[in-house]
Amino acid sequence: MLEEAGGARVKPVAPARTSVRWRTRRLSLLAPLYAVYTRRLRAQVRAALLPHHVAVILDGNRRWASLVGLHEPGAGHRHGAEKLDELLHWCSELGIGELTVWALSGENLGRGSGELAALVGILTDKLSALSQRERVRIRVFGRLEALPKELAETVHRVEADTEANEGLSLNVALGYSGRDELVDATRALIRSLVAANVPAGEMADRVDANVIERHLYTADHSDPDLIIRTSGEMRLSGFLPWQSSHSEFYFTDVYWPAFRELDFLRAIRTFQQRERRFGL
């Protein structure tokens, strides 16, 4: 799914495969210890205050695929899409009420036709599969009119099919750019003022933070308490610039397809250890 547009691909070399095999064997040997530690950490996290809304930038799919020797277009994205099922399960088990994932940026739409076609197909299939869950309500935001037709049609169908579902709210950012969102919100606000016959000289006085917020893609949704980014990149890259003003951030070197429950719990624990001041 999401990965920095224009980022250099990592060319696999022979020693990397040996390294991957060694890491795989090492992780297999350590699996019992990781399982014990994960259970202990899960209990600790459940005993403390949990975030209501977690957002995740799903980054590192292509780099992970190159590292493990997968060269098929979309291979990393396919594994990343499968990992989303686990993330939903972890959130549901902890009682986290809202999850937002950035799966496709506006810049990603400019990728080569082969990779983009594979990515669109993966996202289309994944959204359709997620819509079959009874306890998930799906909302998609971004410049949906810029999405390929098949994906856009799937988005509208999935939102309608899950609208009445109770349980976890899953927000999926597709064709999303934070700058685009602010531009679109400003345009929508101006149009609403014109429709209300507000004189041009009075429009500026009608603009405040609450009014702008009502015209964002995420209107009527809570701001994320915690934003997690995988793959080692320590920036938001335009993700939810307005909504993240009081969010806590957690960055991990783990590529998204390799992200484990243990990594997720560590992010939650770090959030719980911080003192949130909300700018005060």
Active site residue 108: yes
Q: How far apart are CA 65 and CA 81, in angstroms?
A: 13
165 is a catalytic site residue: no
Catalytic pick among 59, 61, 171, 223 = 59
Q: For residues 24 and 12, what is the distance between their CA atoms, to the nearest angstrom?
A: 17
| The one catalytic residue among 61, 108, 223, 225 | 108
- At position 159, the amino acid (one-letter code) is E
List residues with catalytic annotation: 59, 108
